[in-house]
Homo-oligomer: A and B are copies of this chain.
Amino acid sequence: MSIAVIYGGTRPNGNTETLAKHATQGIEVEEIFLNEHNVLPIIDKRHDEKGFQDRNDDYNTLIERILRHDTLVFATPIYWYSMSGTMKNFIDRWSHSMRDNNFPDFKTQMSNKEAYVIAVGGDSPSIKGLPMMEQFNYIFEFMGMEFKGYIIGKGNQPGDITQDKVALFQAEELREELRVK
């Protein structure tokens, strides 16, 4: 069993990253920092005769890396009450992968994975971050993935997250869960 952490942040050592690293400390995980890669927005070709075209970016490589793992941790800062555009673009592209002959079993493979979400926001995240969690829930439900849990931390300034004792405790509990995977 193995674990990938997909980071949607755009600032090195951001609060979300700190929290996700706290949760995975001492555990072997593959880390994917989306902002270090070129992932273009989807161009919807679902109804185009020729179908989707390759975007010639890093997306496929990232998907290949992710598909090898059993557990996916989505770690995103809360930007404007939702996941970062960086992460949204990545997920939007799944619509292509589901129809891509290069990934014939994409949805089936994804459906065998377990998912977690770690998110940090500054503006009442435990309330205003809830719609995002509902969306992740719908996303995982659609893919057949099990949504195993989430952590919402509070932070704005760099380092703030280290003051959020509940989030840290939840990260430690999650660490125990991930350790046995």
Contacts and interface: CB of A to CB of B under 8 A. Distances in A.
23 contacts: A10-B42, A11-B45, A11-B46, A35-B43, A41-B84, A41-B85, A41-B86, A44-B79, A80-B91, A80-B92, A80-B135, A82-B135, A85-B90, A89-B89, A130-B130, A130-B131, A130-B134, A131-B132, A131-B134, A131-B135, A166-B170, A166-B173, A169-B169
A92 B166 CA distance: 28
A14 interface: yes
Contacts of A82: 82-83, 88, 135
A95 interface: yes
B41 A81 contact: no
Interface stretch (A25-33, A66-74, A136-144): A136-144
A150 interface: yes
A126 interface: yes
B35 A41 contact: yes
Contacts of A128: 138
Interface in A135-181: 135, 137-139, 142, 147, 149-150, 157-158, 165-166, 169-170, 173
Contacts of A166: 166, 169-170, 173
A111 to B, nearest CB: 16
Q: Is the interface on chain A under 10, 10 to 19, 20 to 34, or 35 or more residues?
A: 35 or more
Give the 7 A-B CB pairs with smallest separation, nearest first: A131-B131, A85-B89, A85-B88, A11-B44, A130-B130, A131-B134, A81-B138
Interface centre among A41, A84, A133 (most CB of B within 10 A): A41
